[in-house]
């Protein structure tokens, strides 16, 4: 049997409904899974959804949405309710994985959401620390911290956090078929701190964390300057990069070429993936959105779900 995949269609005023419908019309996606959408009925119908495509559970925005796309409380509430319903259904055991189309952090804030974005919400609902990853073929990058102001980064980077994220990353890479994955840890400071001249986080936090992980049997290296770490990873010299902050992973990933990247969350009670882009309000409703990232996310989720069943 094909995996049963839940798909939340994202903000009804963004490109989520469009890319969801377009992706589900792909023969490769249909071969990979049996889908069910949760989202705003009107937005999905405008994007071309019909009952013949797949089942739909409504999570409709209240009232009349504005004609101009953008963040609204109504859109935020609808997209939040879709995710909350999806988590309940996944916990019931009837579905195998979750794929989330993009939501707006601003819209969630307007709606009074208990968390600013998907990963924070899952952390709250599951009561466990997840790992945010991005994959494109052999390229795999994970984040030690997520949407964090850079001025807070040094204080939040503890030895315990680095070790926890590295363990999760090793588990995620094993789920992709790497039996003994080599993880490279990126440094925080230029030139990995230059022996403490340009920063001491490598000496104080990162190297001790790596030493303890090696004693546990994890195959880890670093901390390496991020440019050198990325060059080596793109050359196939590591299985994954553990990056310390958002743009250290996302900027190189998005210019490295190849097919669409998949954003996924590991460490939850269910697999979750999403396309590695946002709501794109500027092109929403214009039939210009590329569904490749959404299709890749669905196929990736189906692969993770199939692996869990073995």
Query: Does the structure show a pLDDT above 80 at 308?
Result: no
Assigned superfamily of 1-130+261-310: Isopropylmalate Dehydrogenase (3.40.718.10)
At 310, the pLDDT band (50, 70, 90 cuts) reads: low
* SS3 call for 264: strand
Position 309 scores a pLDDT of 64
What is the rounded CA–CA span in Å between residue 68 and residue 83? Answer: 24
Q: pLDDT tens digit string along 108-164?
A: 999 999 999 999 999 999 999 999 999 998 999 999 999 899 999 999 999 999 999
Task: Report the alpha-carbon angle 229-235-236, nearest 5.
Answer: 95
Q: What is the average pLDDT across 269-280?
A: 96
Share of the chain above pLDDT 70, in %: 99
For residue 28, what are the contacts with CB-CB under 8 A and spacing of at least 6? 295, 299
Q: Give one DSSP letter per residue of 113-150, joined into a string.
A: -SSSSHHHHHHHHHTS--EEEEEETTEEEEESS-S--G
- Average pLDDT of the chain to the nearest whole number: 95
Task: Given CATH 3.40.718.10, say whether it is the number of domain 138-257.
Answer: yes
Position 259 scores a pLDDT of 86
Beta carbons of 14 and 280 less than 8 angstroms apart: yes
Give the Cβ contact number of residue 167 at 10 Å. Answer: 16
Q: What is the average pLDDT across 260-273?
A: 95
Q: Is the bond into 189 cis (omega within 30 degrees of 0)? A: no
Residues in the chain: 310
Q: Where are the domains of the chain?
A: 1-130+261-310, 138-257
Do 1-130+261-310 and 138-257 show the same overall fold?
A: yes
User: Whole-prediction pTM value?
Assistant: 0.93
At 256, the pLDDT band (50, 70, 90 cuts) reads: confident
Q: pLDDT tens digit string along 51-65?
A: 999 999 999 999 888
Position 66 scores a pLDDT of 85
Beta carbons of 116 and 88 less than 8 angstroms apart: no
Share of the chain above pLDDT 90, in %: 93
For residue 31, what are the contacts with CB-CB under 8 A and spacing of at least 6? 2
HSE, side-chain direction, 13 A CA sphere, residue 176: 23
Beta carbons of 269 and 175 less than 8 angstroms apart: no
Position 63 scores a pLDDT of 87
Looking at per-residue confidence, does 254 or 275 come out higher?
275
User: Residue 294: is it exposed, middle or buried by C-beta count within 10 angstroms (0-12/13-18/19+)?
Assistant: buried
């Amino acid at each position: 049997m094909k995996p049963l995949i839940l798909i939340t269609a994202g903000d009804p005023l963004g490109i989520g409904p469009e890319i969801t419908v377009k992706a589900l019309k792909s023969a490769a996606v249909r071969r990979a899974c049996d889908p069910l959408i949760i989202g705003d009925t009107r937005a999905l119908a405008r994007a071309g959804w019909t009952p013949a495509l797949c089942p739909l559970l409504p999570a409709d925005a209240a009232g009349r949405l504005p004609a101009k796309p953008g963040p609204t409380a109504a859109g935020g509430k609808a997209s939040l309710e879709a995710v909350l319903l999806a988590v309940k259904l996944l916990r019931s055991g009837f579905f195998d994985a979750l794929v989330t189309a993009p939501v707006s952090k601003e819209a969630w804030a307007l709606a009074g959401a208990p968390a600013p974005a998907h990963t924070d919400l899952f952390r709250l609902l599951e009561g466990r620390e997840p790992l945010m990853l991005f994959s494109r073929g052999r390229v795999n990058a994970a984040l030690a911290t997520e949407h964090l102001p850079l001025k807070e980064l040094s204080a939040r980077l503890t030895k315990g956090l680095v070790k926890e994220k590295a363990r999760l990353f090793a588990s995620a890479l094993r789920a992709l078929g790497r039996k003994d994955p080599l993880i490279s840890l990126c440094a925080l400071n230029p030139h990995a701190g230059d022996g403490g001249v340009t920063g001491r986080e490598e000496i104080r936090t990162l190297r001790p964390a790596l030493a303890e992980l090696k004693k546990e049997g994890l195959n880890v290296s670093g901390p390496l300057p991020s440019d050198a770490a990325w060059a080596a990873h793109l050359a196939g010299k590591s299985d994954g990069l553990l990056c310390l902050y958002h743009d250290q992973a996302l900027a190189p990933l998005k210019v490295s070429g190849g097919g669409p990247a998949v954003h996924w969350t590991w460490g939850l009670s269910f697999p979750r993936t999403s396309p590695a882009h946002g709501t794109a309000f500027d092109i929403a409703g214009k039939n210009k959105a590329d569904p490749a990232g959404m299709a890749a996310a669905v196929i990736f989720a189906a692969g993770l779900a199939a692996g869990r069943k073995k």
